[in-house]
Structure formats: structure tokens, C-alpha cells
Amino acid sequence: MSKTLYRKLVDSHTVAQLDDDNVLLYADLHLMNEYTSPQAFAGLDARGLKTLYPGQNVATVSHIIPTKADKFRIIEDADSALQATNLKRNCDRQAIPLFDTNDRWQGIEHVIAPEHGMIRPGMVVICGDSHTTTYGALGALGFGIGTTEVEHLLATQTLVYRLAKDMRIRIDGKLPAGTTAKDMILMVIARIGAQGARGYVVEFCGSAIDALSTEARFTLCNMAVEAGARGALIAPDETAIDYVLAHCPDLAGDADMKQRALEQWRLLASDPDARFDAEHRFSTAGLAPTVTWGTSPDQALPVTSPIPAPLSASDARALQYTGLSSGMPLEGLAIQHVFIGSCTNGRIEDLRAVVDVIGERKVAPGVRAMVVPGSGAVRDQAEREGIAARLVAAGFEWRKPGCSMCLAMNDDVLAPGTRCASTTNRNFEGRQGRGAITHLMSPAMAAAAAVTGQITDVRKLLAHHE
């Protein structure tokens, strides 16, 4: 029977078929952070249970951690400090590896896991965070779960899993100058809607996908959840395999193990006649730098387009919240803050794109611009390459790793009414601070906003730079 890649991954990890819609699914890796794990550990303690396979669980402190560039990081908020302390205590007791507050390699879970070789094609990876879909870039099935499920996973390394439907999204063409995977996924979400992939695991394919770097694919899969997807996948090709081997020296150095792995990974593709429950086709022809105008990632449009007339009550509410009106141009809209970072766009490739745009320019007067690398490894590499020095010279704040202003659970919070050009994944009301206004865009577009003080079509700066 022909199968999609998604069904191949599920079937290879199914411990038991529970009924027509649910299976008991084995997880190769479980990632944890400080805010979705405390109740799960408490539940284990109450039942006198231990983590079944500690080595297949990894934790990091990322959401509540301050990112100020101090030598030692101290979490001053009492509740947040307690979360971090409890995570360390629980990980020590359960023998679970932890990237703690001042660990050199600490960072956002969805950045550190691939860069440390934890993610390989064919795996099932689970985390108490919705953006676990990121790992589909390497042909691994990743998805987020709730706190109760975290407890079950720690105790059994399995999960009661409701099967999803299959969706294929084909994107063909070549990315036009000035556009990125972030523009591509914002375009897709705007076209199919914030619930357009609800109940589905999406498989991306097409010539535009084939041409993307692995880091760009991380961005694409990361934001698939913003269309409601329960997972996102890209069949592993040479690009993905080269990335994995470069980050897994133990595998790359063992010829026999590497050969067996390659043989298995080459089977990880949907069969030619596999049936999908839904399909969409898009082209990159005409794709422009894309920016959100509202309070949902699907409220996005090309930077050159005027803000649309509201088609629903949610559109009208979004315009009211953002202080915009239909017919206004997005380009030229003044911003007060720029945030570059997050599990969506906090990798080294993203930071390289930023310095390519700024050139010798400076951050515009009246703008506060922050760059928060996704991990300690990204921070180190950016400093070795001279990226950090160039950012600082231009007037950007160079911070320590963490989720930072993506979700305002830490010290990095926008003041009410502040308009922010952000490389994050969500622009909900209050997401970056109560009353703050978020415009999602690519790192290149955020860099352009930083040096001009307004939402700017980055293609104009790149053309001038060239």
C-alpha cells in the first residue's frame, strides 16, 4: 500500500493501534523547557515514577531567561527564577541533560537541538511547545504537546497520539531578489488562512523548497503551525543529509553506521502514488517581501500593497488594535522597535542576512534595535565572523541567547503602543507586550526597518547597496 512520508513515520513509531484514530506513539526525543515541565515532574513524583529513558529527554532554559549581555545571567523575577531552579532540580534528580541558565550552549530548544546533532531524518520529536514542527526540515516528525502529555512521555517515552490528515503544499519557482523562506511561508499562511491546515500534517515539496538551505527550511516548517498544521515535513534530500552529517560527527565518522543511516533516510519520501487528503500549489513568481498588518500571521501582504478593507469582525478588530486603516500603505509606516531573533529567525544565516542589508548604515534615530541569537553556538559563530561587531557598530543591541521578546515572558517586553518590526512567528494582541503592535517580517526586512525607522521594501536598500 502506498504511503505518505507522514504515515511512514507514524507507522514506524507505532507501539500499538488503540483505535481507528489513535495510536500509542514512541518518541525518539523529548525536549523540555522551564514553563511546560514543572507540573509534569510533580505528577511523576506524586505517583512515585522515574523518567523511563532520561537520555532521550533534553531540557533548556529559554523562555523566561533575561538576554542582557551580562557575564553571568541572573533571573531576578522570583517566579521565573523558581521555574529555572525547579527545572534544574528535576533534571538533576531524573538524570536528564540540561542546558542551564549560564551554560555556554544554552539557547532556544528548536535551535540547539538540530545544531547539536539531536535531530535526524525519520525521528519522532516531541516538545511542550507548538513550534516543534521546525524539525520537519530534516525529515523528522515534530509536534507540540500539553503538560499532561509531558508527564506521560517522561514516564513511558510514548504518547497517545491522534492521527492527522495529510496535506501536500507544492511551491515551485525561484525566490525573487529580496525574498526569503519567511516571505514564502507568510504568503502561504495568508493564502490558506490561520486554520487552513488545521488537523493536517503538511508536506512541503517543489522546486522552490528544493532550493532552500536547511536553515531556511527550519523557518518554513517552524511557521507551518501558524496555519494550524499539526506537523510539517520535507523529505530529506542531500541538503538535509549534509546538514545532519555536519552536526553529527559520531555518525559521520563511523562508515558502517553512516551507510546504514543513508540507506534508511533515502526511503523517507512519500510514494509516487500516495494519496493526500488536501493539496495546494503555489509559485514564487511575483513573491515580494511580505509583512503582517494585523494580529494574526495570516493577515499579511506584500510590503508594496495597501492595507485591505476588513472582511470580518476579526479584521476590523485587528485594524483597531494596530491603529491602521484600510487603504494605508504599509511601506513608510514608522516603527520604534526592531527585534531580530526567535526559533523562527535566530540562526546564523538570519544574522548574516541582517549585516548584508545594513552595510555601513546605522540604526535610525528613535529606534531601539535588538538582535538575540538563538543559541550560544550561534552567538559564538556570529562573534567569530565579525557579525556581532558590525551589529554593535551600527547601533544594534547584541544580546545573550533566549526566546526574549518573541513572547514577553521575560525582561524583554515592549511598552504599550510601541510598533515593532519583528522576525518572530506570532503577532497576536499583546504577544510582545500589552498594547504593543507587532509586524512580522524576514530578518532582511527587519534590518531595513532598523536603519530607516520605518517599514521599508528591502529591495530598495539592496539595489542601492549593490
Q: Do residues 153 and 302 share a domain?
A: no
451 near 358, Cβ under 8 Å? yes
Domain ends where: 163, 185, 204? 163
The residue behind cell 555536519 is 246
Q: What's the confidence (pLDDT) of residue 464?
A: 62
State how far the Cα of 274 lies from the Cα of 260, in Å rounded to an integer. Answer: 25
**Residue ranges making up the domain that contains 62:** 5-163
Domain for residue 273, yes or no?
A: no
440 near 292, Cβ under 8 Å? yes
What cell does 424 get? 518572530
Q: In sequence order, which residues have a C-beta less than 8 Å from that of residue 316 and are 6 or more positions away?
A: 310
Domain for residue 250, yes or no?
A: no
56 near 157, Cβ under 8 Å? yes
Q: Do residues 156 and 298 share a domain?
A: no
Domain for residue 217, yes or no?
A: no
Domain ends where: 163, 183, 206? 163
Domain for residue 276, yes or no?
A: no
Q: What's the confidence (pLDDT) of residue 252?
A: 83
Domain for residue 239, yes or no?
A: no
Q: What's the confidence (pLDDT) of residue 465?
A: 55
Domain for residue 30, yes or no?
A: yes
What cell does 188 get? 502561504
Q: What's the confidence (pLDDT) of residue 97?
A: 97
Q: Do residues 301 and 447 share a domain?
A: yes
Q: Which of 444, 169, 178, 172 lies closest to 284 in space, CA to CA?
A: 172
Domain ends where: 163, 179, 214? 163
Domain for residue 102, yes or no?
A: yes
pTM: 0.97
State how far the Cα of 114 lies from the Cα of 120, in Å rounded to an integer. Answer: 8
Q: What's the confidence (pLDDT) of residue 1?
A: 87
Q: What's the confidence (pLDDT) of residue 148?
A: 87
Q: How many domains does the chain have?
A: 2
44 near 86, Cβ under 8 Å? no
Residue 30: other Cβ atoms inside 10 A: 25
Q: What's the confidence (pLDDT) of residue 38?
A: 86
Q: Do residues 299 and 443 share a domain?
A: yes
What CATH number does the domain containing 158 carry? 3.30.499.10
Tell me if residue 275 falls in helix, strand or coil.
coil
Q: Which of 179, 276, 246 lies closest to 219 in space, CA to CA?
A: 179
Q: What's the confidence (pLDDT) of residue 35?
A: 83
Per-residue pLDDT tens digits of the chain, which is 466 residues long: 899 999 999 999 999 999 999 999 999 999 999 987 888 999 999 999 999 999 999 999 999 999 998 889 999 999 999 999 999 999 999 999 999 999 999 999 999 999 999 999 999 999 999 999 999 999 999 999 988 899 999 999 999 999 999 999 999 999 999 999 999 999 999 999 999 999 999 999 999 999 999 999 999 999 999 999 999 999 999 999 999 999 999 898 899 999 999 999 999 999 999 999 999 999 999 999 999 999 999 999 999 999 999 999 999 999 999 999 999 999 999 999 999 999 999 999 999 999 999 999 999 999 999 999 999 999 999 999 999 999 999 999 999 999 999 998 999 999 999 999 999 999 999 999 999 999 999 999 999 999 999 999 999 999 765 5
Domain for residue 212, yes or no?
A: no
Q: In sequence order, which residues have a C-beta less than 8 Å from that of residue 109 and are 6 or more positions away?
A: 31, 32, 33, 58, 60, 62, 127, 129, 343
